[in-house]
Amino acid sequence: KTKVTTRRLIEMKRRGEKIACLTSYDFTIASLVDEAGVDLILVGDSASNVMAGNLTTLPITLDEMITYAKGVTRAVKRALVVVDLPFGTYQGNSKEALASAVRVMKEAGAEAVKLEGGAEIRESIERILTAGIPVMGHLGLTPQSINKFGTYNVRAKEEAEARKLEEDARMLDELGCFAIVLEKVPAALAQRVASQVSVPVIGIGAGSGVDGQILVFQDMMGMNHGFSPKFLRRYADLATVINAGVSRYVEDVKNTDFPNADEQY
């Protein structure tokens, strides 16, 4: 059960060993996810939707991300813990980007940060890397840019966008990012990117030709019935399990079945 490092993930790609990743936003789930053997845990800004109930990832703040990340790093013993830099904390100014990344490392005990984008945020990535902070890239569907694209549909289906994505991926590799997330792009393109870069490509809705996979924990465990993209495989139906348990509890309280004689002092 040796600790996963960024170097180890790169070695796994070289060996052809697939990398299993999931999100977590809290201590309890992160403990379970880590114990089950996931290689990388992402404190995603999807917490904005999943934990805070926002419609997009844009409103979540750096302070909120740090609070979520603290619970995760307190729990995790083996997986590499990566934290998303939220919208507005890294794009315009590389010094602000470094300050944001430093806060996540220092206050939350993260081991790496993830940023959305390619050439547009090159300076920010470079400056964060100069501080010895590992950076994970994120290309394809980048939810922080939803207002630019207007939809959460598959990205890079057209030649020009696919070419830019390939260039961005090569740039992230050359800059020294330790891994790249590819979200919702055609499988053939994702496979081509994975073959062109030296670091692991972690896919979500990017097919099987990449070096690893990531899903949002609450989605893959079936905690919400509303979100059903084609790429999502459900490994449990926790929404049904939780609803049944809570309903029984309510019933037991109402009809005074709970607590019984053995459940009191």
Which residue positions form the known binding site for 3-methyl-2-oxobutanoate?
45-46, 84, 114
Structure tokens at 202: 């972690």
Number of residues near ligand KIV (by CB under 6 A): 11
DSSP state of 44: -
Give every CB contact of residue 175 below 8 A, 6+ residues apart in sequence.
122, 125, 126, 129, 135
Question: Is residue 190 within the footprint of ligand KIV (CB under 6 A)?
Answer: no
Q: How far is the CB of 247 from Na ion (least distance, A)?
A: 33
Q: Which stretch binds ligand KIV (CB under 6 A): 42-50, 62-70, 226-234, 251-259?
A: 42-50
Nearest one of 218, 137, 200 to 171, comparing CA atoms: 137
Q: Which one of ligand KIV, Na ion, none is in contact with 79 (Cβ closer than 5 to 8 A by kind)?
A: none
- Residue in 26, 39, 84, 111 binding ligand KIV, rule: CB under 6 A: 84
Closer Cβ to ligand KIV, 6 or 46, answer by number: 46
- The catalytically annotated residue of 120, 183, 251, 263 is 183
Whether 183 is catalytic: yes
- Residue in 112, 136, 193, 204 binding ligand KIV, rule: CB under 6 A: 204
**With the C-alpha atoms ordered 24, 29, 34, 36, is the resulting torsion angle positive or negative?**
negative
Residues 199 and 177: beta-carbon distance below 8 Å: yes
CB atoms under 10 Å from CB of 242, counted, come to 12
Q: Which stretch binds Na ion (CB under 5 A): 6-14, 40-48, 191-199, 253-261?
A: 40-48
Q: How far is the CB of 43 from ligand KIV (least distance, A)?
A: 8
Q: How far is the CB of 23 from Na ion (least distance, A)?
A: 8
- Residue in 19, 33, 162, 181 binding ligand KIV, rule: CB under 6 A: 181
Q: Which residue has the tokens 């890079």?
A: 156
Structure tokens at 24: 């977590």
Question: Is residue 86 within the footprint of ligand KIV (CB under 6 A)?
Answer: no
Residue 210 CA to residue 192 CA, distance in Å, equals 9
- Residue in 4, 6, 38, 44 binding ligand KIV, rule: CB under 6 A: 44
Closer Cβ to ligand KIV, 130 or 201, answer by number: 201
Crossing angle (nearest 10°) for helices 62-75 and 94-108: 40
Residues 163 and 195: beta-carbon distance below 8 Å: no
DSSP state of 261: G
Give every CB contact of residue 203 below 8 A, 6+ residues apart in sequence.
181, 182, 183, 190, 210, 212, 213, 214
Interaction residues for Na ion, span 53-112 (CB under 5 A): 84
Question: Contact residues for ligand KIV (CB under 6 A)?
Answer: 23, 42, 44-46, 84, 181, 183, 204, 214, 216
Question: Contact residues for Na ion (CB under 5 A)?
Answer: 44-45, 84
